Structure 1
Amino acid sequence: MTGAVLSAGQAAAILFGGLVVLLILRVPVAFALGLACVPILLIEPRLSMMSLAQETFNAYNSFILLAVPFFLLTANLMSIGGITDRLVALSRSLVGHWPGSLAQINVVLSVFFAGISGSSTADAASQSKIFIDAQTKEGYDLSFSIAITAVSAVLAVIIPPSILMIVWGGLISTSIGALYLAGIVPGLLIAGAQMLSVHIYAVRRGYPTYPKSSWIDMRCAVWRSLPALTTPFIIVGGILLGWFTATESACVAVLYSIALSTFVYRETGVRELYTALLDTGRLAGVALFCVGTASAFGWLLAYYRIPQELLANVATWGMGPITAGFFIAFCFLIVGCFLDAIPAIVIVGTVLEPLARSVNLHPVQFAIISIVSLAFGLVTPPYGLCLMVACSIAGVRLRYALKDTMIMLVPMLLVLAALIAWPEVSLFLPRLIVPNMMD
C-alpha cells in the first residue's frame, strides 16, 4: 500500500508466520488471530493498537451475528427439553431395521438436529453422550462409533439453519434464504453417503440390526416428534416468506423451543433453562470472539491488499467455474484443518470472493462449495473440533479414531466433487422456489 512501511509480502509473512507459530505453540485460535496482528500494529506508524480494538468492535456491531447465540441456545434447549429423545425414537422407527441400526439412527438424528440447531459442536457433544457408549455396548468398534458420531455432526453446518450460512451471508452479502435452500440437497446427499458407509461397515463387521418397527409405532413416533420437526419449517419458511429476518428467525426458534420443552413436553424447568443459558453464553463467547479477531486479521489483509497480491498469479491460470470451484474447495479443505470455520470464512472467504466473481461462479454456489469444504475441517486434524469433542467424551486420543474418520470422508469428498461439477445440484432448489433471491 502506498505510504506504508511494510510491503504486502512483508506484511503477509508477519501475519501468517506469526499465526502459524502461535498455532504450533497451541495458542487458542481466537487469541492467535489477534496476537498475530500486534507486530504489524507496532511497526506501521499509521496504525495503532486501537485499530485492533476498533476493527474487533466493528465486527461485533452486526445485527445478523445475534443469530449465532440464539441458534446455540435453541440447540441446548433441544438437548435438555426432551426433544432429542423423541427424535431418536423417530429415527429408530425409520431406519432401525437397516444394517448397523444404531449408527444409522445416529446419522438420521444428525439430519433432524441440523434442521433445528445449526451448530455442529452442539450436535457432536450431545450425540457423543447418547451414542458412543451405547454403540460400543452393542458390539460396535469404539473407533467406528467415534468416527460416525463426529462425521455426522458436520451436517449441522450444511443443512439449514446453519450458523456458517448466517455468518457468510452477513460478510459476503449473499441471500441467506437462498443459501438455506441451496444447502438442503447437498446436506441430504452427504447424509446418504454417511449411511452408505455405515451399511458397508455393518455388513463387513456384522454389526447388529433391529427388528423393523410396525406402522403403528412409526405413526406414534412421527406424531410425538411432529412439534419438534416443525421448527426448521418455521425458521426457513419464515425467512423465505418474508415474515422475519435470519436473526429474528433465531429468536423465534428460541421461543418455540422454550414453549415446546416447557409446556408441551414439560421437561424443562428453571434450573434446566439456567444451565442452557450458561452453556450458550460460553459457546457463543468463543465463537463471536473468533469473529472479532478474525475480522481484525482480515482488515489488515485488506489494508495491505494482500488478497489481490495472492490472486494476481492465480488469475492468469485461465480457470473456468469448475476448475475455480475445485481450487476454492482445496483452499478451504486445507485452511479448515487449522482454523475454525468462522474465522476461515472471514479471512479466506473474502480473499477468494474476487476470484469466484471473476470466473462467473454463482455467489450461492461459491458459498455452498466453501461451507461444505469447511465442514470437513471439523473432523480433520489438527483442529477437528467435532472429532476432538467426540474423542474427549469417549476418553481416547484423537488419533485413535482417525483411520475410520478418514475412510468415512471419502464418499463425502465424492459428493463435494459432484457439487462442483454439477452446480444445479445445489442451485436448482433456490432457483425453483426463490428465483428473485438468486440475482
Structure 2
Amino acid sequence: MQLAGSKPSAEAAIDADTAAEVVDARPGSRLMRPVEAVAAILLLVVIGLLLAGVVSRYVLSLPIIWVDEAASISFLWLAMLGSAIAIDRNEHLRLTLFLGMIPERGRAFVSTLALLIVATVILSLIVPAYVYVREESFLTSAALNISVGYRASAIVAGLFLMFAIAVLHAVRESTLANLVGAAAVILGLALLGWALSPTLLTLGYANILIFLVGVVAVCLLMGVPIAFCFALGTIAFIVFSTRVPLIVLVGRMDEGMSSLILLSVPIFVLLGCVLDATGMGRAIVNFMASLLGHVKAGMSYVLLGSLFLVSGISGSKVSDMATVAPALFPEMKRRGHKPREMIALLATGAAMADTVPPSIVLIVLGSVAGVSIAALFTSGFIIAMVLLLVLAVLARWKAAGEDMKDVRRAPLAVVRSTLLIAAPALLLPFLIRGAVGGGIATATEVSTIAVLYAIVVGIVLYGGISPRKFYAMLVETAALSGAILLILGTASAMAWALTQTGFANQLALFMTDLPGGWFTFMLVSAVVFMVLGCVLEGLPAIVLMAPIMFPIAARLGIHDVHYAMVIVTAMNIGLMAPPIGIGFYIACKIGNVSPDEAMGAIWPYLGALLVGLVIIAAVPALSTAYL
C-alpha cells in the first residue's frame, strides 16, 4: 500500500543530509525546490493570517474582515503546490496491493500506464481550468476588492506543475517501449469512447457503472492515485455520456477544496509533525505507562489510552501509531505479547481513536455534510470511549497468560515526575476539545492556537525543533495537505456527477423503503462504508458518499451526528480490515511485522470494534445525549 503521508510524521524531521540525498534522487528535485520553499512560506502565511484573525477578534475585539479571503487565496495555492510536491514525492494515496501481484515485466508497463493516465487527466483539465480562471477574473472579492482570478489561477499553475512532474517521472522511470505502448492504449480508449459516445448518451444509469464504477475500479487496481481515479472516471463520464462542459468539473473541484473549515487540515497535519518531533507524544505515553503499566494487561491499556490521548493532539492515525508503537512495543514483547497481537491492537486502537477531536475525518465530514464540527467533536469523544472500552475488555481477556513476575508498580515519585513532564502535552487535547465543543472558537481558530502552543511548549520544554527540521516539516505538511485536498476536490466533482444523473434520488427512494426502517438503513450504511473504507480510505469515501447518504438519513429521522458516528466508525473498521485495508498495512510497517503474520490475529479485535459499532448504531443517545 502507498498512502499519502504513510511515513510517520516524524520522518518529516529527518536530518538535513539524509533529506538532501532523498530530494536529489527524485526526478523533479531541482524544479521542485523553489516550489517547496513557496509552499512552506504559504503554510506559514495561512497560519499567520488565521492567528492575526484570532487575536484581532478575541483580544482586540476588532475583527479583520479581509483575513478569511486572504487565507482562502493562500490556502488554494498551498493545496495546488502541495499536490505537485506530492506527485514528485510519490505520496498521493493509491492502492498497490494488486499491482504487486503482476509479474515484474507487466508491472513496469502498468506503472508507466498509470503515470501517463495521471498526466492525461491533468492535461485534459488545463484548458477548462484556464477558461474557469478567465470567468472568475470578472468577479471581485468582497473584502480585498481584487479579482477572484488571482485565487483561481492557482488551479492552472498547479495543473501545469503536476503535468510537468508526471511527464518527467514517466520519462525517467519508463522504457521507450512502455511509454509508446501506454500512450497507444490511452489514445485507443479515448477514440473508442468518442466513437461510442452517441450510444453512451442513451444508456442512462448504465454510464454510472461504466465510468464512475468501472473506470475508477480498474484505475484503482492499476495503482493510479485515488484522486486521479476519481477525476478520470468523472471526466470520461462527462465527455462521453453527457454534453456538460468540463469547466463545471473544475468549478466543483474548486468548491470541494476551498471550504474555510478545511483551512484547519494542514494546520492539524503540522501539529502532528510537531508532536512527533518534540517528543510530546512520548511524554504522554511515559506517563500512562507509569500509571497503568503494573496491572494485568496494563501495557495494552497504556497503548489504547495513549492512542486516545495522542489522537486528541495530532488528528492523524499515522502520527498516533508512529508515536506510540516504538515507546511501548519493547516492553510489551518482554512481557510475552506476540508481535502480531501488538499490531492488531495498534491498528484497531488507531481506528478507535479516529473520532477523538481534532480528527481530520470529522472536520472534512462536517464540511461536506453540513454537520456542526463542535457537535461532532463532542460526540466523537464519547464514541471513542465506547470503542476503547470494548477493546480494553478484549485486551484483558487476551492477557490471561501475560508474564508479570518482574513487574512492579512505579513509585509515586516516578508517576509525579512523568505527570509533570507530560502535563503541558496532556493539556492540549482538552484545550482543543473544550474550545471547539464549547463553541468558544472554530476548529480552524483552535488549530492555529494549538500549533502555536505546541511549537512554543516544544521549544521551551521538550528540546525544540531546529530550523532545518522545521522547514522539512512544513514541506511534508504541504505535500500531505495537497494530496488530501486534491482527493476532496475530485471526489466532490464525482459526487456532483452522481447526483446530477438522478441516481441519488433513486437510491434515496430504495433505501427509504427498506424493511426494518431506520435501523436497517443504518446497518446497510455501515456495510457500505466498511467496504469503501477498505478500498478508498476515509476521506474520499466521506466526500463521495456523505452528500448522498445524509439526506436519506434525515428523511428517516436519524440525527445527523448519530449517523456520522456510525459511518465514521464503520469506515475505520474497513480501513484496518485485511487484505485490502490500508491502515492495517501501515500498522504492520510501523511495527515492523509481516502482514501475513498479523492478518490472522486482527480478526478478534475487529470483531470487538463491530460489537462497539452495533452498540453505537442501536443507542442514539450515546452520540446525541451530550450535545
TM-score, normalization: structure 2? 0.65
Aligned pairs (5 A) from 1:305-384: 305-384=502-581
Aligned positions, number: 428
Cross-structure match for 1:277: 474
Change (3 A) 1:286 1:208: farther
Task: Determine the C-alpha separation between the residues in 2 that align with 1:382 and 1:287.
Answer: 23
Cross-structure match for 1:175: 372
Cross-structure match for 2:95: none
Aligned pairs (5 A) from 1:255-294: 255-294=452-491
Shift of 1:75: 1.1
Task: Determine the C-alpha separation between the residues in 1 that align with 2:551 and 2:417.
Answer: 51
Cross-structure match for 1:434: none
Cross-structure match for 2:217: 20
3-state SS, counterpart of residue 7 of structure 1 = coil
Cross-structure match for 2:623: 426
Structure 1 range deviating more: 351-360 or 9-18: 9-18
Shift of 1:45: 4.7
2:492 maps to which of 295, 311, 325: 295
Say if 2:249 is the partner of 1:55: no
Cross-structure match for 2:147: none
1:253 maps to which of 445, 450, 466: 450
Shift of 1:245: 1.1
Say if 2:234 is the partner of 1:43: no
Shift of 1:297: 1.0
Task: Determine the C-alpha separation between the residues in 2 that align with 1:32 and 1:128.
Answer: 33
1:202 maps to which of 399, 421, 429: 399
Instruction: Name the amino acid aligned to 1:423.
Output: P
In the TM superposition, what whole-angstrom CA distance separates every residue of 1:58-94 from its partner, at most 9, and x where no partner exists?
2112111111111111111011112122111111122
Q: Indicate the structure whose relative CO is greater, using CA pairs within 8 Å and at least 6 residues apart.
A: 1
Task: Determine the C-alpha separation between the residues in 1 that align with 2:316 and 2:404.
Answer: 29
Aligned pairs (5 A) from 1:82-161: 82-132=279-329, 135-136=332-333, 138-161=335-358
Change (3 A) 1:208 1:159: farther
Task: Determine the C-alpha separation between the residues in 2 that align with 1:141 and 1:405.
Answer: 12
Structure 1 range deviating more: 124-133 or 419-428: 124-133
Cross-structure match for 1:225: 422
In the TM superposition, what whole-angstrom CA distance separates every residue of 1:149-192 from its partner, at most 9, and x where no partner exists?
22211233211121111111111111111111111121012122
Change (3 A) 1:45 1:29: closer
Structure 1 range deviating more: 304-313 or 43-52: 43-52
Check conservation: 2:343, 2:593, Cα contact below 8 A. Answer: no
Instruction: Name the amino acid aligned to 1:320.
Output: G
Check conservation: 1:339, 1:383, Cα contact below 8 A. Answer: no
Check conservation: 1:125, 1:389, Cα contact below 8 A. Answer: no
Poorly superposed stretches of 4+, deviation over 6 Å:
none
Task: Determine the C-alpha separation between the residues in 2 that align with 1:207 and 1:259.
Answer: 40
Asked which structure has the greater CA Rg, the reply is 2
Shift of 1:382: 4.4
Check conservation: 2:297, 2:402, Cα contact below 8 A. Answer: no
Shift of 1:394: 4.0
Check conservation: 1:100, 1:207, Cα contact below 8 A. Answer: no
Task: Determine the C-alpha separation between the residues in 2 that align with 1:67 and 1:416.
Answer: 28
Cross-structure match for 2:262: 65
Change (3 A) 1:289 1:414: same
Task: Determine the C-alpha separation between the residues in 2 that align with 1:336 and 1:278.
Answer: 28
Check conservation: 1:119, 1:156, Cα contact below 8 A. Answer: no
3-state SS, counterpart of residue 84 of structure 1 = helix
Shift of 1:224: 2.0
Instruction: Name the amino acid aligned to 1:69.
Output: P
Check conservation: 2:282, 2:327, Cα contact below 8 A. Answer: no
Check conservation: 1:298, 1:346, Cα contact below 8 A. Answer: yes
CA RMSD of aligned residues (A): 2.2
Check conservation: 2:341, 2:598, Cα contact below 8 A. Answer: yes
Cross-structure match for 1:33: 230
Check conservation: 1:99, 1:209, Cα contact below 8 A. Answer: no
Task: Determine the C-alpha separation between the residues in 1 that align with 2:328 and 2:215.
Answer: 40
Say if 2:382 is the partner of 1:185: yes
Shift of 1:16: 0.8
Structure 1 range deviating more: 395-404 or 243-252: 395-404
Shift of 1:120: 1.1
Structure 1 range deviating more: 200-209 or 293-302: 200-209
Shift of 1:228: 1.0
Task: Determine the C-alpha separation between the residues in 1 that align with 2:554 and 2:623.
Answer: 18
Task: Determine the C-alpha separation between the residues in 2 that align with 1:244 and 1:85.
Answer: 28
Task: Determine the C-alpha separation between the residues in 2 that align with 1:376 and 1:134.
Answer: 27
3-state SS, counterpart of residue 27 of structure 1 = coil
Structure 1 range deviating more: 170-179 or 27-36: 27-36
Change (3 A) 1:205 1:31: farther
Shift of 1:6: 4.8
Say if 2:435 is the partner of 1:234: no
Say if 2:238 is the partner of 1:11: no
Change (3 A) 1:351 1:319: farther
Check conservation: 2:374, 2:438, Cα contact below 8 A. Answer: no
Shift of 1:118: 1.4
Task: Determine the C-alpha separation between the residues in 1 that align with 2:406 and 2:272.
Answer: 29
Shift of 1:236: 2.1
Task: Determine the C-alpha separation between the residues in 1 that align with 2:228 and 2:213.
Answer: 14
Task: Determine the C-alpha separation between the residues in 1 that align with 2:404 and 2:205.
Answer: 56
Change (3 A) 1:137 1:240: closer
Shift of 1:207: 7.2
Cross-structure match for 1:164: 361
Shift of 1:109: 0.9
Change (3 A) 1:343 1:83: same
Task: Determine the C-alpha separation between the residues in 2 that align with 1:45 and 1:361.
Answer: 35
